[in-house]
Structures are given as structure tokens and as C-alpha cells.
Amino acid sequence: MWFIDNLGVLSCLCNGSSTVADISCIVHATLLAVAGLRSAVWWEHVDSKANLADGGTRGSARFAEALGIPLTARAVPPWPLSPLAASPDAWLQWLELQPRRP
């Protein structure tokens, strides 16, 4: 289950596309990643205050630490020079949390 606090993003993910080309590339890569995991995803809208994904930015790091949930900073890969021409692999790298294993 993925919690999303932005109705526009939720709509794009449910529809599988966006009218904004850059966002469509991200949606495409996200759906490729989900398919690569052979998973089904439930997209759920939540209020911004309740979004678990924003915990690290909302002063809840101490709360997460008390629960034994590690929060680690991750560098975001560089944005492709040409988002429309970027390959699916380039977008998948942008979304990956861990390096691929051989």
C-alpha cells in the first residue's frame, strides 16, 4: 500500500499517465518498478498530516527512532537531461532504493 497526500499524483498513478510529460515519465518508471516486483499496489489518499512517507520531514525522527525504525538520508540521482528521451532504465535508477544485485 502506498500512501499519497497529493490528489493529482494519485490520479496520475491510478491512470498510469499524466498530461505533464516529465510526470508521465516518473509514473511510467514507477509502474515498471511495481511490475518488475510482480506486485500489485493499492494507492491510498491520506491527509498530508497523516502521510507516513513524510515522517522524516515532520519532526517525527525521534518517534521513529524510539520505535526502532531507522531513517536514512538518500541522495536522489540526477534528473535526466532530457526526461522525454530518458530510457526506462534511467528512470528505474531514479526510483531504486538499493543498487541492483547481479
Domains of the chain by residue range: 2-95
Over residues 47-63, the mean pLDDT reads: 69
* Mean pLDDT for all residues in the chain: 77
pLDDT at position 54 is 64
Query: What predicted TM-score, i.e. pTM, was given to this entire model?
Result: 0.52
Whether the pLDDT of residue 61 is over 60: the answer is yes
Whether the pLDDT of residue 53 is over 70: the answer is no
pLDDT at position 101 is 46
- The band of 102, judged by pLDDT with boundaries at 50, 70 and 90, is very low
Query: At CA 11, angle to CA 61 and CA 47, rounded to 5?
Result: 35
